[in-house]
Chains A and B, each alone.
Chain A
Amino acid sequence: MEIIYLLIIISVPLIILIAWAFIWAVKSGQFDDLEKPRHQILMDDDDPGKKSD
């Protein structure tokens, strides 16, 4: 059963990594508009006038 010490200690960096990824996603606005991107991907976007921002 001593293996549980090792496993739990391994899980710590994983939790930190996931928490960090979540915080980054919220702060960088990944959750701001959940509707547009899923449609946008299907629409033609090769407009020469369109600039990436």
Chain B
Amino acid sequence: MTTTNTSVLNGNPAIAAVNCFHCGEPVQPGLLLNVIINGSSRPMCCYGCQAVAQTIIDCGLSDYYNYRNRNALTPEQLLPEKLQKLRIFDNDRIQQTFITRSGANQYEVNLVLEGIVCPACIWLLERRLGAMTGITGININYDTNRARLNWDNALIHLSKILEEITRLGYAAYPSTNVQDQLLYEKDRKAQLLRLGLAGLLGMQVMMNSVALYTGNWSEADSAIKSFLCWFNLVLTTPVLLFSAQPFYKGAWRDLKFLRAGMDVPVALGITIAYLGSVWATGRNSGEVYYDSVTMFVFLLLLGRYLEFMARKKARERTDNITYALPAIATRLHRTGERQEDDEIVPVAELQREDLLLVRAGESIPADGIVTDGISTVDESLLTGESRPVVKQSGSALIAGSINMESPLQMTVTRTGADTVLAGILKIIDRAQSEKPGFTLLANRIVGWFIPVVLILAGLAAWYWWHINQDLWLPVTISVLVATCPCALSLATPAAMTAANSTLLRTGIAVAHNDAVEKLARTTHFIFDKTGTLTLGRLRLDSVHCRSALDEQQCLAIAASLEKTSEHPLGMAIRGITGQSLTHAATDIRNYPGRGIAGTVNGVPYFIGTMEFVRDKAGTDPDAGIVPDHSADGGTTIFLADQKRWLCSFSFSDVIRHHADIMIRDLKKSGKKVILLSGDNSSAVKKIADCLRIDTFVPGLGPEDKLNYLREIQKKNAVITMVGDGINDAPVLAGADVSIAMGGGTDLARINADMIVMNDQLDTLVKALHVSRRTLAIIRENIIWAVVYNLLIIPSAVLGLVAPWMAALGMSLSSLVVIGNSARIYKCI
């Protein structure tokens, strides 16, 4: 519950272990951010939470805190630039891809919402948005986290609505795959109809069948018996013609491609059982199997529907995160001498020689060359290099990297298929086509089981044809119905459904079902460094002081200088000191890629690279100030005034929480752990040493990583690759199982079999556990199904199995499989 900690805080908010009232994260001691909610003052952990909570209160929606049953997610702080970016959604050309217009100003859009954790979130959003003028309709689906939004464009703009959603602590993107979504919905409804009707009619058939089984039919009652059979025939026909369609379609597909799938025996079994029953009904003698047909269809449809829903859910989760801002670029027009006109254009429309403006924080839309400006660019997603690279006039830019510091102007040299990014895409395609084959356990068994059953049924038919011509058909039918592959065909789907939803609960979305089984068989785990084992974010490691000023004072000055910096180092320093600046810096001058100069309390200070500070201070640094480990992969910057060097700050990439535990657990369960990185060797070595990974290879490009993978795959290794960047995507595509971090790039996520939604590395260990358990359960299910069949086939061939026994055996064997699979839910 959300209010457990509140009694502690009303008295003394500085007590340790105070949690944020909005998101439940611990509040840093000494931080005094409070919001009055329902009459009492509540602590907040950050400015983001404070702003959101205040907005909720100001809108008169404080009931949210009473209704909710889970804490909200920690919202990001609202930066004006971020809100500014939402404006692009008002652009006509961009809107064309996702908006439906029904009147002059009546617009409709499907939004993907992020951050929804409980039904109160929906209440909050629907109430707030519903009260805004101009919004004519809002309907949020809790299952899919999507909203249908209608508005009057004359009264309100989409960016304004998105901004309001952001203010409440959620994120929303227009969904561009509405068509896919509609098709999926249609498919779901069709499946539900088939399932429901099979169940409904099946129950009627069952009722009549009980009468047929138990009735002590004398000659006089044979009219009633015949009537019941005819009535069952009428009820079963729609089940066969409508509900069972997917099996016939699947069987037809299997036959066309000459595969031995599960659908062929299913289709054959129900058709023969049905036709045999019709024949018996017409002749008014012999056994009828209508109940077997309907129950069989119903149980199989149920298994498929559950599997479909689990997959749909996982897909929605993964789809929801793949929508980020649309790919757009700001194009400058050369109008005479001055370039003033800029317009936002979709990246697809970019041409060579176009002049583009890339603002700080934006990603580079195409390969090109800098024509104006100096900035640092983060290429870690493409190359794995964790340190930002300085770019100035003449430097080459790679599409997909991120401009960190200050605006750059660039000319496009390559677009579309010629870019470095597109080159990586080609490697991905190749990697996928060369992916090693893998036969799932179930298919291996089904492959020989089905032909055996068909041959046995054929032999039985041939034998009885010669012995007793009246019996050959009932015996053949009972062989096919009794050995009915129901349990066998449910064995894998039932376990997969349970595994998928268990994994989703622990924070992993499964995009491809095979992955669960392959994960269980994995021998090697390969990790990427930047962004996977580490956060891909620099953190202040150590401060070396050698002056009159102490550490805190130096940090305070540095934070004031870096006040407006978008540079990762600046943000890391600000992250330490928090929002409260003790000094105000004036005359701040930014030298992109080098450092910052500014005046604090009347004294000029310089912060930046060693060269920059040496240049400005005019002296060499003291030996004590330069950290000894400056060469081990970290980054160091220096602070000086006009005469003296004051201190140095060393930064390194932060290792993800639980990374060490995960590596230890993986090694303990006998897996080989390998680290492949595009970063330089000292940085990779530091991380590998820290996490005790014995095998690591630094300085690898996307292609090299793939080659490395191929080498060990040749030695029959089953490989799970965990990565996040664009440069990891080819390896992800080539690995047996690919796992992407949820916060990673779209390209990595699209090529992944599984996605770690919560970005917690220890979920991987849990996933391994679930997958092993699932494989064990699938094995048990299949063994059970095969043993059951081996027992019943001889009796069926000898003509000893009555139809009611066949039906009962079939239902029981299926229930055993379903019950056994349910044990997966409990393994975490």
Contact = CB atoms under 8 A, between A and B. Distances in A.
B210 interface: no
Nearest to B227: A5
A17 to B, nearest CB: 11
Given A15-B201, A22-B196, A44-B63, A36 B142 contact: yes
Interface string B131-151: 110001101111110000000
B16 interface: no
Given A22-B196, A40-B119, A47 B143 contact: no
B140 A36 contact: yes
A50 B143 contact: no
Interface in B175-213: 185, 189, 192-193, 196-197, 200-201, 204, 208
Interface residues of B, number: 35
Contacts of B235: 15
B354 interface: no
Contacts of B120: 39, 43
Interface in A1-32: 1, 4-5, 8, 11, 15, 18-19, 22-23, 26-27, 31-32
Contact of A31 (B63, B122, B192, B224): B192
Nearest to B185: A32
A36 B228 CA distance: 43
A51 B139 CA distance: 11
B401 to A, nearest CB: 41
Interface in B107-145: 119-120, 122-123, 126-127, 130-132, 136-137, 139-144
Nearest to A36: B142
Interface residues of A, number: 29
B127 A15 contact: no
A19 B130 CA distance: 36
A13 to B, nearest CB: 13
Contacts of A40: 119, 122-123
Contacts of B204: 11, 15
B462 interface: no
A53 B139 contact: yes
A51 B129 CA distance: 11
Contacts of B429: none
B231 interface: yes
B221 interface: yes
Given A23-B193, A34-B143, A18 B123 contact: no
Contacts of A1: 221, 224
B708 interface: no
A11 B208 CA distance: 12
A36 B141 contact: yes
Contacts of B252: none
B143 A15 contact: no
Contacts of B141: 32-33, 36
A35 B204 CA distance: 30
Contacts of B591: none
A49 B193 CA distance: 37
The residue in A18, A22, A43, A53 that gathers the most chain B C-beta atoms within 10 A of its C-beta is A43
A33 B148 CA distance: 13
Interface string B64-79: 0001000000000000
Contacts of B208: 8
Interface string B673-702: 000000000000000000000000000000
9 pairs of A and B residues whose beta carbons are closest in the complex:
A49-B131, A39-B119, A36-B142, A35-B142, A50-B130, A53-B137, A43-B123, A33-B141, A33-B143
Interface of A: 1, 4-5, 8, 11, 15, 18-19, 22-23, 26-27, 31-36, 39-40, 42-44, 47-51, 53
Interface of B: 63, 67, 119-120, 122-123, 126-127, 130-132, 136-137, 139-144, 185, 189, 192-193, 196-197, 200-201, 204, 208, 221, 224, 227-228, 231, 235
Given A49-B127, A49-B132, 8 more contacts: A1-B221, A15-B235, A26-B189, A32-B141, A36-B119, A40-B119, A40-B122, A53-B137
